Amino acid sequence: MARTQLFSRPPDEEELRILIVDDETHIVNFLRTGLKYEGFSVATAHDAKSALQEVDTFRPHLVILDLMLPGMSGLELAERLLADPELAIIMLTAKDQPTDRVHGLNAGADDYVVKPFDFDELVARVRAVTRRRLPAHSEVVRVGSISLDQARREVTHEGNGIELTLKEYELLRLFLLHPKRVLPRQLILDRIWGYDFYGSANNVEVYVGYLRRKLDDNDHRLIETIRGVGYRLNV
């Protein structure tokens, strides 16, 4: 059975692990759902004590850390976490004062994101920090005969380059991050067109059709339609 592999990593190594530390439940739930569908392994904590416990058991590669936490502050927690030089940190906070950014970065954070934030921007920052701090976690995803370079936005199938539009690329990437998994149409619509998209759900069917043609999937075996539910990438 084929499986998603990040280039240059041992085949049995886990995906990039991210720990979210924030005391706002709706933020935690939103980030956990979104980051999981981006292909990351995710754990969460609501305060410094539980965060330290998760660090010991989950062993994250990167921590998304809210500056304002109950009890021990995010800055104090960051100082403790950075005893591990391999751990990357992105500070997440509602404050937008230059001094807060300076404090966060001086504490050793790799980046700083201000609430409210754009989810795609946060993911881009996660990937940028990953490239800089964790080069073993490359941006190339290979599943079966398909290779997708997230840094260059290049796709090959059976060794041949494929030209994709932005939406086609994002749709294929979503499938590659979840091979053999049935993806409901609504989930695809939310992830590719956004949670606040009010257009037609037929967009999913149309773009799946575009992808099938470019991947020579004339018999729909590669991207299978699961009637009444959604689609599955078979590799």
Name the residue ranges covered by the structural domains of the chain. 17-133, 140-233
pLDDT of 94 reads: 73
Higher-pLDDT residue of 77, 10 = 77
Higher-pLDDT residue of 73, 155 = 155
Higher-pLDDT residue of 72, 100 = 72
- Note the pTM of the prediction, 2 decimals: 0.56
Q: Taking residues 160-189, what's their average pLDDT?
A: 89
Q: Taking residues 81-89, what's their average pLDDT?
A: 81
Higher-pLDDT residue of 14, 45 = 45
pLDDT of 52 reads: 94
Q: Taking residues 210-224, what's their average pLDDT?
A: 95
Please say if the pLDDT value at position 9 is more than 50: no
**For residue range 55-84, what is the model confidence (pLDDT) as tens digits?**
999 999 999 999 888 888 888 898 888 777
pLDDT confidence bin for 10, thresholds 50/70/90: very low
For the domain 140-233, what is the CATH code? 1.10.10.10
**Secondary structure of the chain in HEC code, one letter for each residue:** CCCCEECCCCCCCCCCEEEEECCCHHHHHHHHHHHHHCCCEEEEECCHHHHHHHHHHHCCCEEEEECCCCCCCHHHHHHHHCCCCCCEEEEEECCCCHHHHHHHHHCCCCEEEECCCCHHHHHHHHHHHHHHHCCCCCCEEEECCEEEECCCCEEEECCEEECCCHHHHHHHHHHHHCCCCEEEHHHHHHHHHCCCCCCCCHHHHHHHHHHHHHCCCCCCCCEEEECCCEEEECC
**For residue range 121-140, what is the model confidence (pLDDT) as tens digits?**
899 899 888 877 765 555 67
Q: Taking residues 82-108, what's their average pLDDT?
A: 72
**For residue range 23-39, what is the model confidence (pLDDT) as tens digits?**
999 999 999 999 988 88
Q: 17-133 adopts what CATH topology? A: Rossmann fold (3.40.50)
- State what percent of residues in the chain have pLDDT above 70: 82
pLDDT confidence bin for 11, thresholds 50/70/90: very low
Please say if the pLDDT value at position 2 is more than 70: no
